[in-house]
Amino acid sequence: MQRNRWETAIRCLEIAAHPNTNDEEVIAAINGFRRTADGTPLSRLCREFAKTGLDGEAPEWQDRLDRVAQENLELRRKIEEIEGSRNAALQQLREAERRTQEIGEALLAAEHRADAAEQRFAETQGVYGRISVGPRDENLGLYRALEEARRNLAQPMHEPVRPFQNLLNAALQRLDQTPSSTTPISNRPWTA
């Protein structure tokens, strides 16, 4: 009931403060406020209306504000969780990028090693080719020499020529044919 009186008192003040209200109506509205407020100061009326609102909905608004504040706290907590998850994911992404770079560098080094190994393999094949062709040619030459030696062995053997023996025999024959006018060789041992 008191609330209705205070609302009426405030309406009287509204009428008094309205620009279209004439002086007589202003005085009447102010007197109406005094009678209705029954000595309650205007500041108290304003405080009461600020707490409850004009339609008496203050407790409902307070509940709404409390719910909104609670939802705000929940949202802030969720935002912090999401930020933490995002930061963790970002850290994992950076770690994955670092590992990817290391793997890329290792792969590049492996490719260089593989290229070098292929080059050495090609060089080894070239050397092996030259080595395998060289002995084949040498073996062919040795095979031909062996075949020639076999053919020579199949032919009848001749007595080997002894050039020194022939020369010695010829020298001995000339000695026998020389005249005896030369000094005879004595068989005495030589003494000094």
Output the CA–CA distances (angstroms, integers) from residue 1 to 7, 36, 81, in the order listed.
10, 12, 51
The pLDDT tens digits for 40-51 are 888 887 777 776
Say what the pLDDT of residue 187 is.
60
Measure the CA–CA gap between 14 and 33, rounded to whole angstroms.
Answer: 10
Say what the pLDDT of residue 124 is.
83
Please spell the DSSP secondary structure of 155-192, one letter per residue: SPPPPPP-HHHHHHHHHHHHHHHS-TTSPPPP-SPP--
The pLDDT tens digits for 57-87 are 556 777 888 888 999 999 999 999 999 999 9
Q: Are 37 and 45 in contact (CB under 8 A)?
A: yes
For residue 26, give the nearest of 13, 38, 37 by alpha carbon: 13
Structure tokens at 80: 């912090």
| Domain ranges, ordered by start, for the chain | 2-54
Say what the pLDDT of residue 37 is.
83
Structure tokens at 55: 């339609």
Output the CA–CA distances (angstroms, integers) from residue 114 to 118, 125, 144, in the order listed.
6, 16, 44
For residue 48, give the nearest of 14, 104, 9, 94 by alpha carbon: 9
pLDDT (tens, 9 = 90+) of the chain, 192 residues, equals 466 777 888 888 888 888 888 889 888 988 888 888 888 888 887 777 776 654 555 567 778 888 889 999 999 999 999 999 999 999 999 999 999 999 999 999 999 999 998 898 888 887 776 666 555 666 777 778 878 877 777 666 555 556 777 777 888 888 887 655 555 555 666 665
Say what the pLDDT of residue 1 is.
47
Say what the pLDDT of residue 100 is.
92
